[in-house]
Structure 1
Amino acid sequence: MARAHPLNVLATLDRARTQRYHFTAAAIAGTGFLAGAYNLYSIIFVARLIGRVYYADEIASPGEPGGQLPPDAALALSGVAFSGTFVGQLAFGWLGDRIGRRRAYGWTLALMAVSSAASGLSFGREAKAVLATLCFFRFWLGVGVGGSYPLSAAIIAEYANKRTRGAFVAAVHAMQGVGILLGCTVALGVCSVVPEADHVWRVILVAGAVPAALSFYLRTKLPETARYTALVAREPKRAAADMSQVLRTRIQEQDLDVSVGRIDDEWGLFSVQFLKSHGLHLLATSSACFFLSVTYYSQNILQKDLLGKLGWVSPSPAASMGAVQEVARLARAQALIALCGATPGYILSVVLIDVLGRRRLQLAGFTVMTLSMLALAISYDHWTSHAAGFFALYNVTFFFASVGPNTTTFVAPAELFPARMRCTCHGVAMAAGRAGAVLGAFGFLSKGADSKYASGIGTRNELFVLAGTNFLGMLMSLFVPETRGASLEVLSKEVVYESIDMFMDSNGE
């Protein structure tokens, strides 16, 4: 059944000057995303401490000292969070299109806050009991974190104006870097005041509930997005009333200044109509997310070995320093890596995304990442004896990933698809990325006891493989259209404006 969309309120949102409510919406969505990043990445410190506390007298694997998580325990601890995130991205993406962004986002934040607190309270006297309860709560934490991806992206994309939409969505994604730094800061702070290692990891996890709870409260300050209310819930008058309060202006639908096209609301994600209109977009965005994550998460796994080779953390923790001291050193090293690579990249992506466009940044990022991996692979023998040089080139990869595809693969799916399928499609793209993360992470982590990792930087063949995945990501990026400066409804083919000038940016692009 076809219907016409009342779009005066949406045209008003597209033309609105950047003002306070834009920053409020970004802060709300960004705080939830920060909470998710904090809770996912803080497991690095937690795993170290649990190994030291519960496996101090056990040998993790042949030839390894005690005080480390056995490979199967490490796989389980990482795997449940990945699995939960995958489920959350698909489930809450679908829910966001069914019950509304604001309501579904509240559920993800509540789940995240409760699971964070419960993770720190994991009970049991033996290692297996503690890990079992921790894995249970980490799975549900992952579900909440996964849900924050499509919902936070859709919320800020639908609130933003078309001129600065990319910067605001990128800023929300950049809160991932802030979450990583916050995790390092909390770890350092807790290590300085809490002497017991078993208490340190619990406090670190419980602290993750704070930003999630804060975002849950702050989301009550803004109404449902006008695009969901008008286009999905079909209540244009309520959308106009909500946005009139937010924009502090009066919006009347009878003043509609666009001619509205028609859209068939019957077809769904698996229909022929969707494949014709958006199938290539979904394939391209999902594939780019997948290939990016293979490289990004495999590098995170290699990172711990590199830090040991540089002497920033102990390769034999049980023999050299206390558990709390070791985690403090690890937190400082992680903060340095984030400050040198990822964080500057996130900042630059916010500055450039509405200037150069999403497509250019993504292509440039994948290109540099490909060249970096090739440089490491071709000169592999040199890098095995020059860890500092490897570290510098390693950070170049993270920097350009953050400037380009790590940000743009989050932005593009929030702009290309119709409002009634926006969260679902974004969740599918992010879930494809999570599948790539599993392949990249477990492909390396499962070989953790292999002697070929003694150098701490993997093997030449694996680096060539990562160069290949980056190249494939670059190729798939060619099929992602540029979205800079265009109305969401035009990009998703939901409306046709009277004049092309109404949806093009000031540069006519």
Structure 2
Amino acid sequence: MTTVDEALDNAKSSKFHYKVLFVSGLGFFTDAYDLFIIGVVILILPLAGWNNISIFYKGLITSTALLSAIIGSVTFGRLLDYLGRKEIYGLELVMLIAGALGSAFLTPTNNILVFILWRFLLGVGIGGDYATSSTIMTEYSNTLNRGKFVGTIFSMQSFGLLAGPLISILFLTSGLSPSLTWRLLLAIGGIPAMLVIYFRRTMPEPPRYTADVRGDIKTAEKNLRSYTGIDAQSKRAEKVNAKWYDLFKDKKFLITLIGTAGTWFLMDWAFYGNSIMSNSILSFLVPSGLNGINAIILTNKYSALIFGIAAFPGYWVAVFTLDKIGRKKIQITGFLMMAISFGIIALFPGIISAAYVYYFLMIYGISYFFIMFGPNVTTFVYPPEVFPISTRGFGTGISAAGGKTGAFIGTFADTLILAFTNLSFLMWILSVLAILGCAMTVFLLPETKGKTLRESSGENRYMNQT
């Protein structure tokens, strides 16, 4: 007899895997674009008549979506376990689209409060996507390629990351007014999500969840057959009875949760603070005689260069090596190289100038490559693999919330640090955070490469036959 779990663990890569990839991955393209485009928009707003954006409000506007993503990831993660995957999948995109379009078309000039409220709604949807998409893709994946499948969903972020500066350059050089440009840049963020809402809402409940949490083996086998074409038969279901509070009571789960949430916190501080503020950081390289739209265009060209040459390939090298090298080794390597790259920039502040632009871009680019070929991908892949299926959404949601807490603090704090100190001081801080992330990975996280979900999640300890 082959159980539902065994059938999915041993399944060959097939078209249903790629269907789930498309439905989940396009959402992550949108997530990345929406989060990072605000760094460009915040520079355009003063040129579009916004004259009341203080340093404080600048930090708040750029980081609000990250703050609300904390709420979204935990809320949707818990609902994912309580109500089921099918019941809520797609609702996070509805909130995301409303937030993107509202911030673009329903925000009056100079009305910072309304702008922040729409960005808050957008962030809740983004946080929900972090909890739902990784969990669902993990539960459809086979053991051999699970890292590649889940990593691919997250790496769709690379297209959104690159699209932001390229679209910005297109608009800024087209002659469109700044007042129209910033609204269009925000509105575009809702379009990809619209394409996949229907498919998310019509997906069946993942068979693993139906069998292992609901105990409905017949429906699980039926959905497995109809959606994947795979047959499985079991005499009886083996339910996983781990409760949400077991993540805090069980010492092993608690240590793992500290590891997944903690390393994601440290990585996101470095990554989001760096990326959302990249235009401000790269403005240090702009010649003093260049300002206004032309200065923003140049910083976007630098961003596109770094994202295209360094960040983009880093994502995909990680995707195709996760199941060969392993999650832990890649994460440790990434954190170490981040620490070294940030440390070099901090040690030699003279390269932070237009005179040494190529040297700076090379080192800054290396840091981006190893963020992607490192903890940016692995911190997303880890959580749904290391928590039992009955608490997987919640554990993943808390882990993502840890990341977005770091992203919020990093984006807000980096704005103030750049305003009141200098880039060299910021790089020292980021280097120390990367060292801490490396240490947490070494001591708190297991290797999940080549393990079935039941082995890597520890759910065998919480199984009862029904």
TM over 0.5: yes
Aligned equivalents of 1:490, 1:466: Cα separation in 2: 35
Shift in alpha-carbon separation, 1:412–1:265, aligned structure 2, 3 A: closer
Would the aligned equivalents of 1:116 and 1:137 in 2 still touch at CA under 8 Å?
Answer: yes
One-letter code of the match for 2:147? G
One-letter code of the match for 1:343? F
SS at match of 1:341: helix
One-letter code of the match for 1:284? G
2:209 maps to 1:209: no
Shift of 1:299: 2.5
Match of 2:209 in 1: 228
Q: Matches of residues 402-421 of structure 1 in structure 2 within 5 Å? A: 402-421=372-391
Shift in alpha-carbon separation, 1:372–1:184, aligned structure 2, 3 A: closer
Shift of 1:312: 7.9
2:339 maps to 1:370: yes
Aligned equivalents of 2:351, 2:365: Cα separation in 1: 17
Q: Matches of residues 32-431 of structure 1 in structure 2 within 5 Å? A: 32-55=27-50, 58=51, 69-124=53-108, 126-127=109-110, 129=111, 131-191=112-172, 193=174, 195-220=176-201, 222-254=203-235, 264-265=241-242, 268-269=245-246, 271-272=248-249, 275-300=250-275, 303-311=278-286, 316-317=291-292, 323=293, 327-381=296-350, 386-431=356-401
More helix by share: 2
- Note the residue ranges of structure 2 that are not aligned, 5 or more in a row: 462-466
Shift in alpha-carbon separation, 1:99–1:207, aligned structure 2, 3 A: same
Higher alpha-carbon Rg: 1
One-letter code of the match for 2:45? I
Aligned equivalents of 1:381, 1:72: Cα separation in 2: 28
Aligned equivalents of 1:313, 1:251: Cα separation in 2: 67
Aligned equivalents of 2:150, 2:268: Cα separation in 1: 19
TM score, norm. by length of structure 1? 0.84
One-letter code of the match for 1:35? T
Aligned equivalents of 2:266, 2:403: Cα separation in 1: 7
Shift of 1:334: 2.2
Shift of 1:419: 0.7
Shift of 1:180: 1.5
Shift in alpha-carbon separation, 1:475–1:28, aligned structure 2, 3 A: same
Once the two structures are aligned, what percentage of the paired residues are identical?
Answer: 28
Match of 1:500 in 2: none
- Note the residue ranges of structure 1 that are not aligned, 5 or more in a row: 1-5, 61-68, 318-322, 497-509
Shift of 1:182: 2.3
Shift in alpha-carbon separation, 1:88–1:262, aligned structure 2, 3 A: closer
Shift of 1:473: 0.6
Match of 1:503 in 2: none
SS at match of 2:148: helix
Higher mean alpha-carbon deviation, 471-480 vs 188-197, is at: 188-197
SS at match of 1:51: helix
2:414 maps to 1:471: no
TM score, norm. by length of structure 2? 0.91
Aligned equivalents of 1:404, 1:327: Cα separation in 2: 29
SS at match of 1:250: coil
Shift in alpha-carbon separation, 1:367–1:286, aligned structure 2, 3 A: same
Aligned equivalents of 1:304, 1:136: Cα separation in 2: 24
Aligned equivalents of 2:388, 2:284: Cα separation in 1: 49
One-letter code of the match for 1:289? W
One-letter code of the match for 2:245? G
The superposition leaves residues 343-378 of structure 1 with CA deviations (integer Å, 9 ceiling, x where unpaired) of 010010011101101011011111111222222233
Shift of 1:425: 0.8
One-letter code of the match for 1:420? S
Indicate the RMSD between aligned Cα atoms, in angstroms: 2.4
One-letter code of the match for 1:394? Y
One-letter code of the match for 1:488? L
Shift of 1:489: 1.5
Shift in alpha-carbon separation, 1:30–1:120, aligned structure 2, 3 A: same
SS at match of 1:484: coil
Higher mean alpha-carbon deviation, 346-355 vs 284-293, is at: 284-293
Higher mean alpha-carbon deviation, 8-17 vs 284-293, is at: 284-293
Would the aligned equivalents of 1:357 and 1:484 in 2 still touch at CA under 8 Å?
Answer: yes
2:424 maps to 1:458: yes
Would the aligned equivalents of 2:240 and 2:390 in 1 still touch at CA under 8 Å?
Answer: no
